[in-house]
Structure 1
């Protein structure tokens, strides 16, 4: 009899110490066997589960999910269905979710009587996590590729829209609260939030976070300027030196964040940021690497946009004085003369008196400096956004003053004349012994279109009248 029992005992030991979950059920679904691996994975001891079926409520607290699984169990017990590779997600005693792959079939005694069902479960949680991560990484790579394609050959005026779309897509992909771009100002004293996407219900900060002193976030900005990625899975773990940032992050409800430098010519000029609001998260090295590619794409696009804008600006600007050039003057004057039913416009033409003798006596370097000083006076005098000051050619300048009466234009012109004289730039060949200017001023107020050439020629005639009458004066008239 003892010899007949050894195999049974031996088999029991194998089951007890098997590296997989093994349990058996009776025909009512009650647990009849629960091995050590089942205890270890579930957190529930055999004393707690053997003899009843309450463990199903503990492992599968969602009633609908549990009911669907019990249909499978009953099919195995009552109908003799075999299951291979059925996956289910349990909740362990500690609250952790684990994924198991089940092999189950009917279970009979030695006489062939149905006892219930046996089940062998393999814990595949880690494998499933790896599969999920691999799939997410694949999707992220596809998203990065799509963003890269979207940013190819963008016009300067399309950049902001493309950045906004990229932030939206990345924010939704990672299920964060905010995705945004911050740019440092050229003097590195302040920074601005220039693009932002927020999940529903998350407070936006685009209007509030402008002209923020960089020193107010010194720890973060120092890391970024050193071209370091700032990855903070838990803001509560920030070092003491980042206490100011920590308080601000808590105020904004941020639990975790990731900040990636935007780099151009080896210098960081801002960062791409992601805030996890109301819950903590940690970005994997693979995710960070993919987002660094996006940051490089955005940084390169910003740099290209800046270069294009600078080229466009240079095409409209006089290189010596920084004022508008003749091409820009012609375009603006044409627009001003044609854009209104009632044209109300004043124009000043300015010429530096006896400039050629000044240039001959002092040389081109002093002559260029004189032109720049006069240009600064003009720029200060015509300070409204709609005003335009242009270098017309040589030592001549033009000011366009929209919506300005003749009296108003004369007041501006007299101010310019007095300010230039007050510069006290020595000019021995001028009867006033200092640099002066003469100005011709004309103003238009009336219905219908006005020819740009007409107003220019009239201002030029008035300028030369001022010169004939003794220079350092203003001649004006209504056209």
Structure 2
């Protein structure tokens, strides 16, 4: 037996508390009327009451006539496997409900939003009828309702949603491949796609630092008319949102239907959600190698939303795709950096191998490269080219008499004196071994080479004697011939220097 309410609660208060959009229409009895125009006219003259949820869902203007706005709501049919029917081609389901005792529609779009519409006539007499219409967002799950034939529609719609989501996942998988460029743009495109598909107001990605003490909003998509907050949500410290950090680190999920209902243990989070006008929020962790790197989140701003298990499963799938893309991109960047550093290290090692550590002069391999370059240039431009080799007389005996530091100082001094005699463009002095040096002389014939080699011998002769033994050099010079390469030049110059030493040293051959 139905009992009246014992508390003083008005019907309006009850309607406003419902999470379902409710429209109550008191209108003329239209059971015998088939003309759509007459029905619409009756609706426009009817007494209409709506709750707050209906005002929001239908975007009604409280300052304008409600009956006219409801009559003009933009409905269309989302056929399961056929084309969409435009609003201009169908009768408004609300107008149609005015002459039916009961309706149940789960194939409708209000604008672009999938909705379920039900209606029932609460009173019916010869003159006036009260029709109660309810609207709610159509969830992406199987609908079992009263075992009516309309369950076929619901099942087919759910299959269509499943197919569409699979297509979306396939598309995102392709777009989030790590080898593609512009990952940030592709992540934001993915956020837009999943945000529109799940009909949320805001979707976003946050990334944690290595120690999970800070997080930043790196990517964001917002629906039309929704405020962006990405610029404000940078480098957020753990102590500012301790409850949220703890939830993400411990369970990897934050799921709230009503953020205002958070207790004092999450007062910082409650204040932040209020600041951003977030009524409902769903966040799931993103992991790489089982380590939390960030999270993907959905916000509802215009209304509250009770998140379904399908919502959670779908956001996890997309979160995994984005996490994989970010992790792969980081690995590629790290690999590229390592390769760059390795190339730089190898280049530096090659330079070290081509440079004498004591004198800083090029070594024999680098000299050969330069000789071949000069030979090619001399061949093209038809100019002379000579090579001089200088060998320290009695070098091994001198090295044995000296300490390591004394020997190093002597070699550096000799290198400096030789170098002071060769400062022209293209002239390259190199250290061949412990006791020998060589220099290539572009644009120089054998006579010029001899003259300049003798100058070097005079410079070295001024060095202090070591244990009454003078410091002298023997020099071998050679002029390039067109049939000679770098090896030929070096061998002949070294042979000439050796012959000069055998003839007593301190001379040029």
Q: TM-score range by the shorter chain?
A: 0.3 to 0.5
TM-score normalised to structure 1 length? 0.46
Higher Cα Rg, which structure? 2
